[in-house]
Structure 1
Amino acid sequence: MSASLIYDLAPIGSIVAWSDGTPRPPERHKLAVWEARNSKGRLIRKQEKRGAVTLHEGDFGGGGVIAIRIHRTFSLDSELAFKVIERPVLGSVRVFDRAGANAELVHLAANRQAAEEWLTRHGYPNAVLEEVTADEVAADHVEGRVAA
């Protein structure tokens, strides 16, 4: 599916894979270029003005400290193929860093209590909690299109 369909159909918090269609090279080859065009991450933002989606690919650090956070932003006209691997579970709670169109998902909790506990440890003073609803899960099928 296209990045545009991910924008339209995939709920924030979904795990999304992207690929350029090339097979993974053998381990003895340098994989960095291939991995940049073939990986997966959590959908953390949809940017209407930029016409883009942002995925959180991973964190690097040690001793409980995140030193580098890897985000990838794709324009809606990207030539890569995308696929929803996993959707957020009904009743889970998304923690956004702030309200509004520029909000970014910073955590996906199993429920409201877990989200509130996470917030006490991570301190986002303008955080907004949003529960994943049945309507949203049902929206996987929109206008005959499927976010699969």
Structure 2
Amino acid sequence: MSAPLIFDTAPLGALVRYFDGTPRPPARFTKKLAAWRQRNGVGRLVRKQPARERSTYVSPPSFTLHEGDFGDAGVIIVTVSRSFPLDSDLQFELVEHPPVGAVRILQDIGDGYELLHLAESREAADLWLAKNRYSRARIEEVSADEIAADTVEGRRAA
């Protein structure tokens, strides 16, 4: 899939793989492996940003994948996210849709919104919101209709 197709069809919370088509170098080539990892990975789709026009610059539409959180003792120190413009030369693959019954916790940001957390159930979402207070957070459940529409339209992950 191309970046514009992911932007148009993938739902927030989907697991997306990005790759450049090159084979993974052996582990003994640490610099080559690090460079390869910059262009090959997996992340959860957390944001779709429409094009923005400001007085000093114009940014193309893009989407952001959350690759992971790093920390210790329950405290997140670093969050790794990667944004891709729609003219990216990488290929993308929709690995997994969010499961039916899962709950998205979203926050409005600018012209769009961002996925803060994907919870297993409504109760888990309420607990997460109680621990992590966001003033503009809202809850949205993943419905069977959403997944069925993607399957009918040929967008279902393998």
Whether the aligned pair in 1 keeps the contact of 2:105 and 2:118 (CA below 8 Å) is yes
What code does the residue aligned with 1:7 have? F
The corresponding residue for 1:119 is 129
Q: Is the 8 A contact 2:3 2:91 kept in 1?
A: yes
**Structure 2: unaligned runs, 5 residues or longer:** 52-59
- Give the corresponding residue for 1:78: 88
What is the 5 A alignment of 1:1-148?
1-30=1-30, 31-49=33-51, 50-98=60-108, 101-141=111-151, 145-148=154-157
Q: Quote the RMSD (CA, aligned, Å).
A: 1.7
TM-score normalised by structure 1 residue count: 0.91
> May I ask how many residue pairs the two structures share in their alignment?
147
AA at the equivalent of 1:113: E
CA distance in 2, matches of 1:80, 1:99: 26
**Distance (Å, rounded) in 2 between the aligned partners of 1:48 and 1:141:** 25
CA distance in 2, matches of 1:147, 1:86: 8
1:43 corresponds to which letter in structure 2? L
Q: Which runs of 5+ in 1 are unaligned?
A: none
Question: How far does the alpha carbon of each residue in 1:3-54 deviate from its partner, in whole angstroms, 9 at most, with x for none?
Answer: 1111111110000000000111101112221111000000001112241110
* Divergent runs of 4+, >4 A: none
Aligned equivalents of 1:25, 1:99: Cα separation in 2? 39
Distance (whole Å) between structure 2 residues aligned to residue 145 and residue 100 of structure 1: 31
- Aligned mates of 2:34, 2:42 — CA distance in 1: 14
Q: What's the TM-score once normalised by structure 2's chain length? A: 0.86
* 3-state secondary structure, aligned to 1:88: coil
Q: Percent identity?
A: 52
- Look up the match of 2:57: none
